[in-house]
A and B are shown apart, each in its own frame.
Chain A
Amino acid sequence: MSVESGGSSAGSARATDGGRFGRGAEPPSEGKHEFAVIGRPLPKIDAWAKVTGETRYADDFFLPRMAYGRLLRSPHAHARIRSIDATRARALPGVYAVITGADLPRVKFGILPVSQDEEALCTEKVRMVGDAVAAVAAVDEETADHACRLIDVEYEPLRALMSIEESLAHPEVRIHEYGDGPNVHKNVALQFGDVEAAFARADLVREDVFFYEGNTHLPMEQHAAVASAGPDGKLTLWSSTQTPHYVHRLLAKILEMPAAHIRVVATPVGGGFGGKLDPFAHEIAACRLSQLTGRPVKIACTREEVFYIHRGRHPVLMWIKTGFTKHGEITGCHLRTWLDGGAYGSYGVASTFYTGVINPVTYKIPVYKFEGARVFTNKPPCGPKRGHGTPQPRFALECQIDKAAEQLGLDPAEMRKRILAEPFTKTANHLTVTTIGLGECIDRVVEASGWRAKWGGWRSQSEGASAAPSDNRRRGVGIACSAYLTGAGTAVYWNSMPHSGVIVRADRSGGVAVLCGATDIGQGSDSILAYLPAEILGIDPKDVHVHPADTSLTPVDLGSYSSRVTLMCGMAAIQASQRLREVVARAVARKLEVDPGALAFRERKVGVPDDWEKAVDFAQAVELAEAMHGVLAFAGSYAPPKRAGKYKGGGVGPSPCYSYSACVVELSVDEETGEIELHDVWIGHDIGRALNPLLVEGQVEGSVYMGIGEALMEGQVFRNGVHKQPSLLEYKSPTTLETPEIHTFLVETDDPEGPFGAKEAGQGPLLPVIPAIANAVYHAVGVRCDEVPITPEMILKGLELRRRGKAARVGPERIPRFTFKEPVVVESAFGQPADAIAVRPFAQ
């Protein structure tokens, strides 16, 4: 692992450390062994429960008198509901209750305030196969299933619109009555500087069209929820959700009951990836059924239902026009995206912006124009999957850069290094960038992969690198880079409160309880919440008891999305721990008759380093502090710096800091069969600082794996309104056999915005994998695949085109007829110095 603080590209414009380590901390000395916990490859605190099967996921809850629920879902992609008759179902022995939309308040909801377009149980219309229309609670699942089949629903089928083109071509068929035009959910246009002038200055202007197929999260745990309405009128929901806070808020609205009487507990989540970020029909139905039956009600979704819940990767069609100088510098970029949003809004407005706003964070793009439109279709709604809206335009840009590099005769790795964004500056679209370790990431993967020898220049495709003349396999390497946010700078609903809060409480045993609303979805947030207080208080992570994600106990954390948890909860945990430490230090200082600033906290002791034999045990120090101060419970709060660009739409994209990744892929393509075999993936990731390198590597490896799936096999495809493969067997995802060796290199830039300098790792490393594979395929066989997933059929089609003397490109041929809005025109902020670091709410 690289531990030089930043290398040459990270910049040295470090602000004071007051905001980084919290008030009262001594700035750590330089060097690798400055920390006792941070930077060490410790097991996760929940690892033991997970390897023994003791972790209780939502579906593992069995409560006394519990009933089992089931949803009846629409078999039609688009239909009016004429009537629902549940008489036969209600008469079935063992059925406790049957509800329809009529049994819920007539309130539409949605995760974003601007897209309140969902009903838990549809009342007038269904907009996709899988929309819920009724729910049953019964003595067991089998009876509930049976009862669902006895509910008579009369539908009037409507024309189903199953693609962007179809939805735009049929304005007379309306999926929703709101939006920016018939079947257009959102239409955005932003312009930062004069792109036409930038193209006129360029030596090379490329226009390319790309398509990125939609795919789904496919968590191994199917969504499940258990609701229990008490006789006191209060309600508790245990759910596999990544956002207990948003579910809490929305349940109050949907059920029309006081939020103060609702408790939402996020159980350990068996894989999220963004798929458990919305409030869902099964959660709401479980609550209502529990209220009506006076029993706890569990609804565990089937694997097929998880495909309908979806909220996964948007299919996106992209047109990208970029000007390059002969040295590879970008003069300007114009990007248009069309998103197939599916049947509901979900996070779609944010997704639409995300297809445009993050690309400028990676390279110098002095002027930039982005136009995007999200279109409703009668498919499961898309939303935030790992990388949220950014893998698609990243694929487009990185493949286009590869094409430009070839035309300009440049090494694509060298070219990228030449055009890296400057640390501590603003982008054209007014995003503030802090540290950038991308140059070092590129160096590391170029070196480790043997890039120069393997790439060996742009070769003519007649001389492919095969092992032997009889071997149809051709080897190739490809490179791509990316950037991703470390936490969204704005909340889903606008407010001035903290994005994350932590309470740290010390007890007389020397144990420390940490309460935080964060949800562990496998990424290790519970562990981070133990490591940081342990580091600051000089105790063992095992002494820390983490109590996460319970809205009646824990301060709000907005949720496990946008790679925000380590940074935001981490900063709040540091602040709370510092406050506890100060009080403990004062008490120990009084006893030892020394200055509090002279005290060190380590090895479960507090004392003066030069007089360590007098150091007091941490448990005793806590008792001294409690005697002096009273109960020791301290809160920490975090909200990101307010840096949103001052224009409409400027709220999507800002982040405290951005992570960077560079990836080299080596693969073989069989010219006979079109099959692709991945050999090795080298990935360099700028993590800021690895709080636990083991967990960071795990996030990077998992991201690479998921990128491989998206690049080569995963796709949600529909036929006649019906999902073609709503099962784990037919929806292809990589197994151990398709996953190559992944070589991870962590680059540390010690970002002034992050906890101990840390940035995100959970999403960014997915991004470069997909274009790196496409670029490697081209390097191997000379076929440009401007569409993912890249299938053997596409390869064979490209090779056939080449044999016929045509351009060996496979991908979308046209873009829709569509009029974007007049753009919001804003001056480019490119190259301006970054705003001050550590000017944050609640920092003091």
Chain B
Amino acid sequence: MKARLSLTVNGETHDILVPVHKTLLEVLREDLGLTGTKHGCELGECGTCTVLVNGEPVLSCLALPADLADAEITTVEGMAEGGRLHPLQQAFAELGAAQCGYCTPGILLTAQALLADRPSPTRQEVKEALAGNLCRCTGYTKILDAVELAALRMGAPR
């Protein structure tokens, strides 16, 4: 069964016709061409497919677009504003926090939600916020460093 839906992603509203059981992850990638959101397990176990729904991290492999008609969805493609990278993206690039880069979109968005909630988190708070996002490349060290650097820069007077 297909449903006609209206989905707001990165500030743009899309009218789509999709099977009702198709996950947000699949719709983002296959129907909207937003391939920055990655598959990791499709079982809600690895955090790779994290997007923001009304600012909160959500595993897109477990979310159904039918439930999200009135929601604001943010993917990694929506982090930069007007061609200017989000401070988290800048810090991740500068500090080598993305190696293979596959977990990076999910981690960036989880971190963005954290910093919106707690602008100056402790390292332990960063660790706890990211505990649901697996990374197999970095040993997390540079990721934690990058989140801290971004927090510092975002807190600094412009």
Contacts and interface: CB of A to CB of B under 8 A. Distances in A.
Contacts of A705: 138-140
Nearest to B89: A51
B46 A54 contact: no
Contact of A50 (B40, B42, B98, B140): B98
A220 B100 contact: yes
B152 interface: no
Nearest to B103: A220
Contact of B137 (A222, A702, A735): A702
A706 B108 CA distance: 22
Q: Secondary structure of the A side of the interface? A: loop
A697 B96 contact: yes
Interface residues of A, number: 57
A303 B139 contact: no
Interface residues of B, number: 57
A280 B39 CA distance: 20
Interface stretch (B1-9, B64-72, B124-132): B124-132
Contacts of B99: 522-524, 698, 702
A220 B139 contact: no
A220 B134 contact: yes
B76 interface: yes
Contacts of B29: 60
A697 B145 CA distance: 13
A53 B138 contact: no
A217 B142 CA distance: 20
Given A50-B101, A57-B102, A737 B42 contact: no
Interface in A500-544: 521-524
Interface string B32-52: 011111111111011010000
B27 to A, nearest CB: 13
B141 interface: yes
B95 A694 contact: yes
B76 to A, nearest CB: 4
B144 A271 contact: no
Interface string A691-709: 0001101100111111000
B139 A742 contact: yes
A523 B136 CA distance: 12
Contacts of B103: 220
A617 interface: no
Interface stretch (A1-9, A40-48, A326-334, A588-596): A40-48
Which residue among B48, B141, B144 has the maximum number of chain A CB atoms within 10 Å of its CB? B141
Contacts of B137: 271, 522, 698, 702
Give me the 4 closest cross-chain CB pairs, A-B, nearest first.
A53-B36, A522-B100, A50-B101, A705-B139
27 contacts: A44-B93, A46-B101, A50-B104, A51-B85, A53-B104, A57-B38, A57-B102, A60-B29, A62-B30, A62-B33, A218-B136, A221-B38, A221-B102, A268-B100, A272-B100, A273-B136, A522-B137, A698-B142, A701-B141, A705-B140, A728-B40, A728-B43, A735-B130, A736-B126, A736-B143, A736-B144, A739-B140
Interface of A: 41, 43-44, 46-57, 59-60, 62, 217-222, 268-273, 300, 302-303, 521-524, 694-695, 697-698, 701-706, 727-729, 733, 735-737, 739, 741-742
